[in-house]
Chain A
Amino acid sequence: MSYVNDAIAAISTPPGQGAVAVLRLSGKDALTIAAKVFRGRQRPAEATPRVQNFGTIVDNSGTVVDQVLLTVFRSPASYTGEDLVEIGCHGGALVTRRILELLLSAGARAAEPGEFTQRAFLNGKMDLTQAEAVMDLISAQTSLALRSANEQLEGRLGGAITAAREDLLNVLAHVEAYIDFPEEDISPETGSALKARMEKVANLLDGLLATANRGRILREGVRTVICGAPNVGKSSLLNVLLGFERAIVSDVAGTTRDTIEEAIQVRGLPLRLVDTAGVHAATDAIEKEGIERTQRQLAGADLILEIVDAHLPDQTRITLPVDSQAKHILVLNKTDLGLHPNWEGTQGVALSCTAGSGLELLCDAIFDLLADGMGENSASMVAINARHYDCMSRARDYLTAAMAGLDNNDSPEYTALEIRSALDAIGEVVGKVDAEELLGVIFGSFCIGK
C-alpha cells in the first residue's frame, strides 16, 4: 500500500442486488477523474459540496451507462479528509462494476481493503479510540486479504500470474544485462528475440485478463435477460425457472412494467434472471421508461433468452445492441398449444411454461453455451478479480509501450523503464521485484566477470 493521496475507487455497498449502490472515489484527482465519466448540469469541480447532482455516467464512446446521483465532498470536509466523490447508481452488480471500471480507466486505482478508512484516520478525521479500532480493522483486513490472497496464489491463478512475473523478470534481465555489462562476452537478447519473449508474456497477460469476465460470472452470476413481445410468457418463464410466483402474471399485455432480478442456479452455474417489459411500441410514459430500461439491460447482458409465442405465426423480434457480446437463445414457448409451421426448422428450444415441459432442454442449452469448461474441474475455475484486472491491464499497457520502444529502436534503458513499470503493476498482486532478485537472475543467466 502506498501512503500517498493518489485517487482510489471502490464499490462501497456490499456485493449483490440492491435498489441502489454507492461507489466512492477519493484522492487528489477525484474531481478530475469524476469529470471524465460524469455528465450533468454541473461539472464535479463546480458542484456545490454535499448536494446531490443528477446526471449520467458515460463510457468512452459517450454511451450512457447509468443515471446516477453524484455528491461531491471537498477536502477536508469528507469521510477521508480528501476530495471525495460518491456516486449513487442503480443497484446491480453489472452497472456498478462497469462504473468502477470506467473510474479505474479514468485514472483511479482500485482501493486496497480498508484504504478509505485508513486515509480517514491519517487525515485526522478520527479520534484516538476510533484509531484503535481502525488499526485492528486494518491489520485484520490485511491479514485476511493476505490469507485469501495466499489461498488464491496456491491455485492456478497464482501460478499463471507468477509465471507472467517470472517471464517478465527474465525479459528485464536481458535488457539490464545489455545495459550494465557492455564489455562482457554475453549475448543478452535484443530485437526480435526479445520481442518474442515479450509477446509470450503479453499472451499470458491477455489470457489472464480474459478470465476477468469468467470471474465476474462466477462471483456475480450470468446476467440473463428474458425478453420478447408482450404476453409471450416472459414472466411465466421466470416463474417456472424460479419455481414460484414472483412477477405479476396476467393476460393483460404490458403488466410487467419494471425489471425484476432473481438469482437461480442452472447445473451449478449462477444466473441472475431479469424479466423485462415487453418489446413493443409503448404509449404510456411509465411503460416507455420500462422499454428504455430493457434496451439498457440488453446492452449489459451475458445471456439473452428471447421468448416467442410459437403457436402464433410471427412476432415482434428484439433488436440486439450492435456491440452485444451476449449469448442468445430463442425460446419457443406455448408449444403445448401447438407449434405454428412458420417456426418449424427455427433454431431454438421448444417448451411450454404452463405445461412445464422442455425446461431440461433449456437448462442444457444454457449450460452448454455459458459453462465454458467451468464446473467440470475446479482447476479451470481460475479467474481474476477487479483489482487483479486493474493491475494486470496496467502491466499489459506498459508491455505494449515496451514492445513499441523495441520496434522504435529506443535505447534499452527506456524499454527497461516500461518493463519495470509492468513488473511493478504485476508486483501489486504477487510481490514486487527488487534489485537483488533482478541481479540474481542476471548473474544466474549470464557469465559476468571482466
Chain B
Amino acid sequence: MKSAPYCSWALMAVFAVTALAQAELDPALLGKPPVDAWPTYHGDYSGRHYSTLNQINQSNVKNLGLAWVYRANRSQQGAQTGGSVPEAVEVHLGPGALAGGFLKSTPLMVNGVLYFSAPDYAWAVDARTGKEIWHFFWKTSGGDHIGNRGLAMYGHWLYLETPDGFIVSLDAATGKERWHKQIADVKAEYFATTSPTVIGNHVIVGLSGDALDVPAWLESRDPETGDIQWKWYTTPRAGEPGIETWPDAFTAEHGGGMPWQPVTYDPQLNLIYVTTGNPNPVYRGDLRKGSNLYTASIVALNADTGKMVWYFQSSPHDTHDWDAAQVPVLFDMNIDGQPRKLVAQASRNGFFFLLDRTNGKNLVTTRFVESPNWFKGVNQRGEPIPDPDKDSQLGGSLISPNNGGAANWTPPTYDPETELFYLNTAQGYEIHYQYPIDGPVFGSSGHTSQAVGGIENSLRAIDPRTGKLRWVHKYAGSEWNPTRPEHLGGLLSTAGKLLFAGAPGGFWVAYNPENGRQLWHITFDYDVSNTPITYLLDGVQYMVLAAGDAMYAFRVHN
C-alpha cells in the first residue's frame, strides 16, 4: 500500500525522462549517414538517399513484408491546433485535391518516433507499432494546398511550413505549438510546401508561389526564437551582379525563382546548395529578356551569412516552367584519378549536370531522356541554350518534357558502391499556347496548354562521370500516358545492394542496382507518394514509405 504511490511516482519520473529523451534530437546525428535515425528530409545532408544498412539485402529481400500501416488521421478532434486565423477557411482544392490529401512528406525518425506532415497537418507516430502519438492541425487562412514535403527537427522542436505562408514550431513530445512566424503574405499568392532544413543554429526556410510575379528568397531563422538571421533574394537588385540579365531592376525584383525544394549542405565547405524555381511571368520570356539570374539555378550559399559563393543556371531564360528545383545531390568521386567534390542534378528540363561543388564549374552536361526539344545547344558554361522558336505561341508549340518534367522534385539516389545516379523519368508532350489578353500580364496570363500524352516512363541509371546511361528500365504499359515523375515518389539505395523505386500502377520495387533486374515488389492502391526511408530499431531494419494517405512499414520476416 505504502510503496505503491512511491513506485508509480518513480515510474512516472522514469517515463518523464524517457519521454524527454525520446523527443530530443542529438545534434551530433545531423549530417551523419542515417543508421538508427533519419533526422533530416534527406536523411543526411548529401541528398544521396543512400543507407549504409544491409540487414535487408539481395538474399532476403524476397521475404520483405508489412510491419504496420498508419492511415493519416485528419480529424480535428483530439488534434493539437494552431492557426493564423480563429477558424480555418474552407479550402477549395482543384485538380490537385488528391495531391493535397496525399502524404508526400519524407518522415523523420528520431528515438523511435516518426514525424511527418501534409498541408495543415503534422503527425508523430510510434516507429515500432505505427500507432499515433499526436497529430497537429493548422487553421489555415488559405494558400495552395498542393503538398508538404516534411518537417525539420532541432532539439525538442519541430518546424512545419504551411500553405498560408507560416513556419510553425511544435513541441516534438506533445505536438503543441510553440510559436509561429509569417514567412510571406498569402494575399500575394505566396505559399509554402517545402521541408525546412536545420543546419547548426539555422533553420533554412524556402517558399513557393508563381501566380503573381512576386520577389523570392531563401531565409535562415533562429531555431529558438524564429527570428530571421539572413535572407538571400534569388534575383539581383539594382547595382548587384547579375542585374544585367534582366531588362530592369523592377522586373528582376518581381522575377520569381522560388526555392521550393529542401537544400543540401556540405559541412566541410559550409556551403548550402539551393535550387531555384522558374522566373516570372512564367511563359512570357519577351517581358524579361536575358538569362534571368538566379532563377532555375543551382546556387551555393555560405550557411552562416547567406552570401552567394557560386551559381550554375540549369535553365537560362526558362520559358517552360522548368524550374531547377530538383535535388542537388552531393558525392565525392575520383575523376581522371583525382578525388573531386561533386554536385549532380537531373533537372526537370531533361538535362543531367555534374559540377565541382567547390566552385560550380561544369564537368558534364547530357540529356538523360531522348525527347527534350526546347533547346538548340549547350553553351560554354555547360548550360542549355533555349530555342526561342519553341516559346509558347498562338498556333501551339509542341514541347517535351510536359509540365511534369523529365524529372521533378522527388529525390533521385546516388549509390557509392555502383557509383551510379538513379531516377524515375518521363517523356511526355504538351502543346503550349500564348494568346493576346486584355488586362495586366502576370503569372501565367494568356497561356494555356494541352497535355497530349507521351512516349514512356522509365527508371534510368546514369554514370555521372560521362552522363551516359548505364541501363534503362522502361515501365511496361507506360506509353501514351506517362505519369509525372514526382507521382512515382523518391528513390532509395542501400548497402544491401538494393535500389528501391516506385513504378506506375502502385508498385514499389526492389532492383539489383548493377543491372536493373527486379528482385521484389508490392502493390498499393496508390502510387508511392513520398520518398522511402530506412532505419535500424531494436536491431531490426525497417523501411517506411507513403502511398496515398497511408504510411507503410516493412521488415524482413524470417
The answer on A and B forming one complex is: no
